[in-house]
Structure 1
Amino acid sequence: MDIQKTHNIGTLGPSMKGQKVTVAGWVEDLRELGKLTFLTLRDVTGVSQIVVAGPDNLAQVKDLTRQSVVRILGTVQESKARDFTFEIKADTIDVLSRAVHPLPIDPLGRLESGIDNRLNARALDLRNQKTAAIFKLRHNTLLCIRKTLTDLGFLEVNTPKIIGSASEGGANLFSLKYFDKQAYLAQSPQLYKEQLTLGLERIFEISSFYRAEKSHTVRHLTEFTSIDIEAAFMDYTDVMQILESLVVNVFEYVEKNCISEQKSLGIEIKKPKAPFDRVTYTQAIEELGKQGLELQFGDDLLDSHLRKLGELHPGFYFLTDWPLKLKPFYIHEKDDPSLSKSFDLQYGYLELSSGGRRLHDPQKIRARLVEQGLNPAQFEDHLRAFDWGMPPHSGWGLGLDRLMAVLTQIDNVREVVLYPRDPERLFP
């Protein structure tokens, strides 16, 4: 049995009247009207009406279930149906795969399913046009990100996800046996990407990372996708500007190129105004004090504080110049040694990105490790590279899943991940 098709449905139109085409997809609906049956056939690119006539073809579709996969050889013709500008009159029909009912969810969304049921049947859920739109937007977002960074001279790299030590001193690592050794799943590419600036100068990575946090919120995952950059000879303000441009480019690109996806989701994506607000940690403390939230210098900002700041700075904004003691050992200090050359990109209370200027002096790094209660001996593989002529460098990590939640205006980050992993979900 042939399985190929000559056209995607989305490439067809009324101007092709009389042309023979072969299409394939799944049956969304079927209606029997006397000696005719009308199928609604969809593929990933679009939807068409199929007119079925003749005893052989009608016998093929008589007991056909919705969501079954068929291949149609037919002729494009004008349609009198209100919802279609053209239709295909079937010459032959091949049933390639029958859907067994009852299905676990209704992919048309006529019967609403909870997110857990939808995730349990995620492959079928992708036939729901609202769900499919999310991941078409995600594809286009990644397309834009890669082009933006490549055009700025960044090279895409891949760093290990199985590592031999708790590289950043983080406690929330998944551990595993690596033959006869102890290993961990990487929670970020931080140390590797810093080392890579030594020879490649500007690099980026888009990959999955892992954090063993038992967080039960709509914004946390144990496996998440991070976009990371690191750039030699750039200060933290330089990479902040790259991050801002990247976010603006993404919104502008999908606003212009993903019209049908926005329609499916019932949203309107608009390019954010730039420049984003830049609020120093000290300014944030002062602003919160005026709102009756008293904080001392060095206090971390909680969700309640960030929600209030989000009200004061709608949309995207940067929080900069954090106290050095609140940041990892590799972050560079400012002229005021109590402050760091660091920033977070916020959208309301939601932290999307964290970054800054990195230390490139190995003696300073060793001293900072000791200050933070970490053992420099555990970082010797990393520190060796700093004795080979490490350039000054800065970078950031951006959570793709959280960015997609903002872009699609969806609160739960699990909706924008194909197969999310959280403390309870390990399957499918």
Structure 2
Amino acid sequence: MASFEVIGGKKLKGSIQPQGAKNEALQIISAVLLTDQEVRIENIPDILDVNLLIELLADMNVQVNRIDPHTCTFKADNINTDYLNSPAFREKGSKLRGSVMLAGPMLARFKKAYIAKPGGDKIGRRGVDTHILGFQKLGATFNYNPTTSCLEFTTAGLKGTYMMLDEPSVTGTANVLMASVMAEGVTQIYNAACEPYIQQLCRMLNSMGAEITGVGSNLLTVKGVKELSGTTHKMLPDMIEIGSFIGLAAMTSSELTIKNAGIEHLGVIPDKFKRLGIQMTFKGDDIYIPAQDHYEISTYMDGGILTIYDNPWPGFTPDLISIVLVTAIQAKGSVLIHQKMFESRLFFTDKLIDMGAQIILCDPHRATVIGLDRKHKLRGITMSSPDIRAGQALLIAALSAEGKSTIQNIEQIDRGYQQIDKRLIELGADIQRIDEKK
């Protein structure tokens, strides 16, 4: 198990380019199973979760050609469908929640699919009910195998229908959408997620010959086709990385430029950080953040304390709640952070409190941050990363703190941020990766 040793208190300076979007990658790469023709994917993030999904495809006999660390071609013309019912798949698939999105394409093309007990972040209950109900409405049957802890789906042929999803789940929408593109007839998916990554998946599928309308809305209409062809698709920049870099610049009083940020796809993210008092300027598709000695949290017009909460798109993404919380530590003023969707995501605040942050954890979903306004520095401690986003938040805290911090279990950070230590070292950060195997 590796760790980071961080000497904090150093100002960073320079330019950094965000990786390709992790949450888009897991959907897009799963979609290559929908055709026997070659699909080229560009701007792939070189991170653990995505590389594990690519390994799973290769294990299924998908021809994978890694042209460079961020570009791959895939050809799924000789799939071993039985692999998904093997102990090897269950072991590897259980490490990656994104493996559930193989089920939609497999049902559409091969009429059977399996979902292993999903892994991923331990941030609260994250059921697969939306996926199951959607597949059932398309005509699939499922069986839970208690021996393998695996869900098994079969169908004689999926048929289009109208459905209202029980929640606007991003992975649920993606999975049902991929299942429906080759279903007989017309499918309407209401209460669909409409995040930019779902829009990207729709555009990719349409470029492969699918007929999807309503892209960008919460009502997707899919006219089933008999087969799909190959395509080339380029992923968006990762909005979560972009938000992380904005928070990092503020906490460390650093002057940073985020290059090629895909600003038109960021929604309310820049505005939420501006509410914390963070200055930024858009220069073309770059975001320039000047060094700020102080930044002040705004209040509501009636003087009430600002609340930042997560919501389905176009609301604020839950993946940046941890970053906003840590960024508020050194602001002037107070903010209530309300994490609605996951009941375990705020538990990492105990580590920030040990570092000297003034945070009141009201309940599993809400925390109040009383900003220090840089009157006191955080102090370095030893801590462990519980999940991807909390891990990055702890890294930001460590980089702003006085003295040495040790962050253990950094494999969690590596799952979502590619070579984050090397990229931040280039900006002036003092980070050392310690591999305990050596």
Report the TM-score range of the alignment, normalised by the length of the smaller protein.
under 0.3
- In our comparison, the structure showing a higher alpha carbon Rg is 1
- Normalization by structure 2: what TM-score? 0.24
- Normalization by structure 1: what TM-score? 0.25
